[in-house]
Structure 1
Amino acid sequence: MGRRSFSKTLALQQPCLVLLPIIITALWTILAAPAAASPLRVGFYRASCPSAEHIVRKTLKKAVSQDPGIAAPLIRLHFHDCFVRGCDGSVLLDSTPGNPSEKENMANKGSLTGFEVIDEIKAQLEARCPRTVSCSDILAFAARDSAFIAGGINYAVPAGRRDGRVSIKDEPSGNLPSSFFDAKQLQENFARKGLSLDDMVTLSGAHSIGDARCSSFSNRLYSFNATHPQDPSMDPSFAAELKKKCPPPPSNSGSSSAAQPEPTAPLDSISPDRLDNKYYVGLKIHRGLLTSDQTLSTSPSTAWMVKNNARNGKAWAKKFAAAMVKMGSIDVLTGSHEGEIRMNCRVVN
């Protein structure tokens, strides 16, 4: 190619050469930003309601002083909220005529508590910063503060959630994991929410505190399968302890027993009042209460995670904090055009 021909070709290519750095820069900007970056941010209320998180923690501490067992239900409330319609406070809504809410679902009715604590926190915040702090953010803050009070686990909570306007009775059934799930079913359930297998095993450590009703595990004591009435994966001495608390279910459930409160047992028999890694220690010695607990130690895909968590409590606590933040970002409503800021967490505005 001659010099003039080469120069002419180069001149024709100049616009492309000039634009190339711009294109590369634009692509780098797109690729450098997380594809699914959370719209939530730490310190969201720093300007609009600076005392928001302090009010939540102060009110929660007062509630715990009156009822030391309230921390577990508040963590559970946040979990049950996020797994149904995302973290939008839908679990807090009361039923309305013709529209039973999530509270009426069998997975929630009679087992979810702590609503009054959320009501009190919301009242305090409305008095200080009207129509500013969402109920869904209150749930996230209260869960974090419960983890701190019960286990010394502290972490920054990204906020900016807005509250949903819909709560449907049947939806928890298709979204919440069952206490009878095995490890594979649990993995699939959590994966649908964007949570990994390790997230699932880590978050299951919340069962280090709290109780479960006998009906959630009595099948493991009396009617496991045709060959083994008692679950062979349960430590026999542990089963004997549980049978003292949970008699065999009646052959027909009459109305006479319906009025009696159902007995419960601690989810973690080693340190039931402390959010720590002893839950995993219990799984290793076959003292998991629910099927969905013990399966983590008997399934090859998760048994090694249980061993690691049982061995290193500090590492588990750090992972738990990260997993709670990740769970708290499931399908959130944000911005001025999504959801609302409820004035009363039980009803839409």
Structure 2
Amino acid sequence: MALSLRIHFFVALSLLACSTNAQLSTDFYDKTCPNLQSIVRNAMEKAINGEARLGASILRLFFHDCFVNGCDASILLDDTGTFVGEKNAVPNQNSARGFEVIDTIKTIVESACNGTVSCADILALAARDGVVLLGGPSWAVPLGRRDARTASQSAANNEIPSPFSDLPTLTSMFAAKGLSARDLTVLSGGHTIGQAQCQFFRTRIYNNNNNNNNNNNIDADFAASRRAICPPFGGDSNLSPMESLTPNHFDNYYYSEIVANRGLLDSDQVLLSDPLVTTYSTNNAAFFTDFADAMVKMSNISPLTGTSGEIRKNCRLVN
């Protein structure tokens, strides 16, 4: 190979490497889709005005998406005759929701900026706006993700933390995604909004005071109140607020509940041993600041950029 040809070849490789490993940026769509953020915000406001719980649902979708092969919108893909997605994985089946909201936003965005904005970025923005609209903190969302052409039901089954997990398991699973024990505690604060199904907290309200684990005890009155919602058998899909004081307002009461042994899920109450729980229970500003920072950190888990992946026309299907 001639010297000049080799030089051009290696320059091309370098440019390709830079494009596929490009950093996300908050101004990524400023020129190509300048109205993107207002479109997402307006659509989320309409959705939450119709059902406040959708703010929590979209936040959970984003969390479950990022924990499976990165923040690439793989969770939005439907199963087909030739494709297995993540929607029917155990952590998502009959509990992940809000897909129609993302569909609606995508349709509006496509009308304004055809073939420009990824479903992954729409989901990242919608998660932020849902938190803000329910009274939580805002943050500048890094953008420039592209959408996956693949999904992994097995990774969804194995890599999304379970509501029954103990603290070492949770810490290990977060560490596998580049997230610290501090990130675990602050991101769990997203449970200050939304609801959980009976099947995910039944064992806690019926059995946990017998396990001699001081970090997983449960207040007797709280357990009794949840038993009225969740019978010993049946009623698996019955819902309880994750945090019963202000279930549709994003605030630090989630941590106050844990301090009082009123965490709804095992994976909530086991956080009691982290001193940050007490800090956040009395300092809403600290929680908001740290939550915003942790969300940006999580949103940077293995994004597809440059020429990787694609910009889906329909968030439910690969192009």
| Paired position in structure 1 for 2:289 | 318
| Paired position in structure 1 for 2:7 | none
Q: Kindly report which structure 2 residues correspond to 1:132-281, keeping only aligned pairs within 5 A, or say none.
A: 132-224=116-208, 233-249=217-233, 262-281=237-256
Gaps in structure 2 of 5+ consecutive residues:
1-20
**1:222 CA displacement:** 2.7
Asked if 2 retains the 8 angstrom alpha-carbon contact of 1:269 and 1:287, the reply is no
SS at match of 1:245: coil
1:341 to 1:78, Cα distance in 2 relative to 1, 3 A: same
| Paired position in structure 2 for 1:19 | none
- Separation in 2, partners of 1:189, 1:118: 27
- Separation in 2, partners of 1:346, 1:185: 32
| Paired position in structure 2 for 1:56 | 40
Asked if 2 retains the 8 angstrom alpha-carbon contact of 1:38 and 1:329, the reply is no
- Separation in 2, partners of 1:317, 1:324: 11
**1:173 CA displacement:** 1.4
Gaps in structure 1 of 5+ consecutive residues:
1-36, 251-259
- Separation in 2, partners of 1:169, 1:294: 28
- Separation in 1, partners of 2:99, 2:260: 35
Asked if 2 retains the 8 angstrom alpha-carbon contact of 1:74 and 1:139, the reply is yes
Which TM-score applies when normalising by structure 1? 0.82
Residue 90 (structure 1) aligned with residue 74 (structure 2): yes
Deviations 1:127-185 (A, max 9, x none): 11001000000010001101100124111111000000111222211110010111111
User: What's the RMSD between the two structures over aligned residues?
Assistant: 1.7
Amino acid at match of 1:346: R
Amino acid at match of 2:311: I
> For 1:340, which of 304, 310, 313 is the aligned residue?
310
Q: What is the total number of aligned residue pairs between the two structures?
A: 297
Deviations 1:290-335 (A, max 9, x none): 00000001x3xx1x11011111101110110010010000000000
Amino acid at match of 2:93: K
Amino acid at match of 2:221: S
- Separation in 2, partners of 1:78, 1:221: 28
- Separation in 2, partners of 1:151, 1:318: 13
- Separation in 2, partners of 1:74, 1:279: 18
- Separation in 2, partners of 1:221, 1:65: 32
- Separation in 1, partners of 2:229, 2:100: 28
**1:281 CA displacement:** 0.4
1:227 to 1:192, Cα distance in 2 relative to 1, 3 A: closer
- Separation in 1, partners of 2:211, 2:219: 17
| Paired position in structure 1 for 2:270 | 295
SS at match of 2:240: strand
- Separation in 1, partners of 2:211, 2:188: 29
1:98 to 1:121, Cα distance in 2 relative to 1, 3 A: same
Residue 330 (structure 1) aligned with residue 301 (structure 2): yes
- Separation in 2, partners of 1:44, 1:85: 22
- Separation in 2, partners of 1:204, 1:38: 29
Asked if 1 retains the 8 angstrom alpha-carbon contact of 2:188 and 2:268, the reply is yes
1:69 to 1:227, Cα distance in 2 relative to 1, 3 A: closer
